[in-house]
A and B are shown apart, each in its own frame.
Chain A
Amino acid sequence: MDKLYDFLSEKLKSLGPVHVGSGISAEYMLLAFFPLAFVALVRGLENVTVSVLAILVTAMVAFSAPLVLKVARENSDHYNVASFYIAIAMGLILMIMIGGLY
């Protein structure tokens, strides 16, 4: 945990327009959120598979840290960024509605 903290604070200091403390807490939140969201997404599967996959997701998020700068960039106020996600979400919603979830 300490090593992760050092690593993250170094990276955030070198990279970003973000306060280091808030960046690190956001990073930990992402680390907690992605496995949980993943579990919520694949809740139809059996327990063992879901837990193995959740651990894999956690590892992926941990190794691709720091994600918070990417998240901040993808949520910026630029028109085209918003357009991109709106187009994807519209397509996805219509697909889920007409085609079903699984």
Chain B
Amino acid sequence: MNSELIPLMVVFPLISAIILNVLHGKDKAVRYYGTLAMLVIIAIPLLTVYGNHLFGAHSEISTSPQTGIQIPVIDLAIEYTFSFLQRVLVIILAVIATFAVLIHSGEKKASGSYLSMIMLSIAAVSAVVMANDIFNMFVFLEIAAISQAAIIITMGRPDAYKAAFKYLMYGGVAGASILIGIALLLGTFGVLNITDLHNAMAGQMSNPIVLTAIGLLLIGWLFESGLFPFHTIKSNLYSSAKPDVGALLQTETKIVLIAISIVLIRLFGGFSNMSAVMLGLSLITLVFGGIMALVQKDFRRLVAFAAVSQAGLVGLSMGLGTEAGVSAGIFHAVNDALAMSLIFITIYVLYDRAKTTEFSKLGGLLTKAPTLAFLQIIGILAVSGIPPFNAYQSEYRIIDAAFSSGYPELGVIVILGTILTFVALMKGFYLTFLKENVTITAKDRIFMTNKIPRATMLALVILVIVCIGIGVYPSPFYDRISDAAMLIVGGW
């Protein structure tokens, strides 16, 4: 079945990016067009039917006459797959991006090129999620890296430039690493389509070229998902962005993490060393991200490290490689992206008013902004896995998956990491809202009202409702993710 609307999910944001770039400077037009485009971007994945889309003429070819190698079906075209999993991920990305665009439109000055970069990153991440072609995935990963760096650059501050410099520099290294891995796979098997590679690769696991390719692809995976050696770079990226875009960036990271993990598991799922590397580095990210979050003195940096730590949790669950692990990992990525976005957006409100998020300049804001404090505590409880909220369901399932696949110590460390995240975020909440800061003089006291802008309030309320909704009724959602995970792992 050739599903006709699938390319629109990539093409429409790209066109919008160009139009917004042209509109730059015309404030009103940028606002209206940005909002309208986001509504369309949410609507497209809802309307699209499930299926595959082939870009190119040939859908199938017979065996090669010269060599006689027989591969079941070769799609000599770039293939995009769209099913329940892709729909969920694309919609979540679109929703969080809509919040970022709405919040930006509510500000005094709406920048066209800024929104254009957001659109570009939406297009790139949607393509990464849907592509069933390993080279196409690589191209859009690079585009995503460039557009994310560009979003940071628009902040215009030296620390943002430094973050973008590091990000693009190691983005280049990781991109080349992925490309060389792809080149090795292409040279060995002659195909780029992931399904074909999966079929061609049966029984080839001990080939040293394939092993090198796995290692190189893993390095790329680590960079794109911000795990251990790259965790400082990623957290620096989140913390130097404006917090509302920080929400979008961390959502994109988690979605890309899921997408690449799925590809790795589909291709090399039977290979235990890869699982060991994924587990080990995710574990280090989980704990060290949490510890770094605990010792920060700036709320934005604290939340950035907490987000990285949660990405480590997702990576750990995907690294287990079992059906329970993969489905719990996808579920947790979705839940955590939503709950973390809630915290990021509350911090945006704080940053918007106070123009700073350093703990030394905040304190005692509970009486001035009780609504904000209430929403933020909901976000903190949701991220830390407290029962009525969504992350509880997924964290419980991750621990369960770790125990049932024979890694009880990993389950214990996951519990430790969860506690660490909770303590770190509560520290931030305490220092911002509860503790009276005696060192602030009356002149420096922050002007803070309880009034939250309408667009921001809408975003926060929607996120709270979704968090509680998934937390109370997880099964209709989780069951379908579980089915998708069964298909991913089932090949092995």
Q: Do chains A and B touch in the complex (CB under 8 A)?
A: yes
Contact A75 B232 (CB under 8 A): yes
Q: How many Å lie between the Cα of A97 and that of B281 in the bound state? A: 14
B288 within 8 A of partner (CB)? yes
What's the least CB distance linking A31 to chain B, in Å? 11
Q: What residues of B have a CB within 8 angstroms of the CB of A4 in the complex?
A: none
Q: What residues of B have a CB within 8 angstroms of the CB of A68 in the complex?
A: 291, 295
B477 within 8 A of partner (CB)? no
B332 within 8 A of partner (CB)? no
Contact A29 B287 (CB under 8 A): yes
What's the least CB distance linking B361 to chain A, in Å? 15
Contact A86 B420 (CB under 8 A): no
B208 within 8 A of partner (CB)? yes
Contact A88 B291 (CB under 8 A): no
Contact A90 B409 (CB under 8 A): no
Contact B273 A97 (CB under 8 A): yes
A25 within 8 A of partner (CB)? yes
| Proximity string of chain B (351-382) to chain A, C-beta cutoff 8 Å, 1 when within and 0 when not | 00000000000000000000000000000000
Given A26-B291, A40-B283, A72-B295, check contact A97 B409 (CB 8 Å): no
**Closest residue of B by beta carbon distance from A88:** B229
Contact B416 A26 (CB under 8 A): no
Contact B170 A98 (CB under 8 A): no
| Proximity string of chain A (20-32) to chain B, C-beta cutoff 8 Å, 1 when within and 0 when not | 0111011001101
Interface members, chain B 141-170 (any A CB < 8 Å): 162-163, 166, 170
Given A33-B413, A82-B233, A85-B229, check contact A40 B407 (CB 8 Å): yes
**Closest residue of B by beta carbon distance from A90:** B219
Q: Which of A36, A75, A93 contacts B292 (CB 8 A)?
A: A75
**Closest residue of A by beta carbon distance from B419:** A29
Contact B230 A86 (CB under 8 A): yes
Given A37-B413, A79-B166, A82-B229, check contact A96 B277 (CB 8 Å): yes
Given A71-B291, A82-B170, A89-B281, check contact A101 B232 (CB 8 Å): no
Contact A75 B231 (CB under 8 A): yes
What's the least CB distance linking B311 to chain A, in Å? 15
A8 within 8 A of partner (CB)? no
**Closest residue of A by beta carbon distance from B177:** A90
Q: How large is the interface on A (under 10, 10 to 19, 20 to 34, 35 or more residues)?
A: 35 or more
Counted as pairs of residues, one from A and one from B, with CB atoms less than 8 Å apart, the total is 119
A56 within 8 A of partner (CB)? no
Q: How large is the interface on B (under 10, 10 to 19, 20 to 34, 35 or more residues)?
A: 35 or more
What's the least CB distance linking B172 to chain A, in Å? 12
Q: How many Å lie between the Cα of A30 and that of B451 in the bound state? A: 41
Contact B215 A29 (CB under 8 A): no
Interface residues of chain A: helix, strand, loop or mixed (majority): helix
Contact A17 B297 (CB under 8 A): yes
Q: What residues of B have a CB within 8 angstroms of the CB of A23 in the complex?
A: 294-295
Q: How many Å lie between the Cα of A75 and that of B294 in the bound state? A: 13
Q: Which of A25, A77, A94 contacts B232 (CB 8 A)?
A: A77
Contact A82 B166 (CB under 8 A): yes
Interface members, chain A 68-88 (any B CB < 8 Å): 68, 71-72, 75-77, 79, 81-82, 85-86, 88
Q: What residues of B have a CB within 8 angstroms of the CB of A29 in the complex?
A: 287, 290-291, 294, 416, 419-420
Q: How many Å lie between the Cα of A93 and that of B427 in the bound state? A: 35
**Closest residue of B by beta carbon distance from A27:** B291
Q: What residues of B have a CB within 8 angstroms of the CB of A90 in the complex?
A: 177, 219, 229
A43 within 8 A of partner (CB)? yes
Q: What residues of B have a CB within 8 angstroms of the CB of A17 in the complex?
A: 297
Q: How many Å lie between the Cα of A41 and that of B233 in the bound state? A: 26
Interface centre among A21, A89, A101, by most chain B C-beta atoms within 10 angstroms, is A89
What's the least CB distance linking A78 to chain B, in Å? 9
**Closest residue of B by beta carbon distance from A37:** B283
Q: What residues of A have a CB within 8 angstroms of the CB of B407 in the complex?
A: 40
**Closest residue of B by beta carbon distance from A86:** B229
> Can you name 6 A-B pairs with beta carbons within 8 Å?
A22-B423, A33-B287, A37-B413, A77-B163, A86-B173, A89-B222
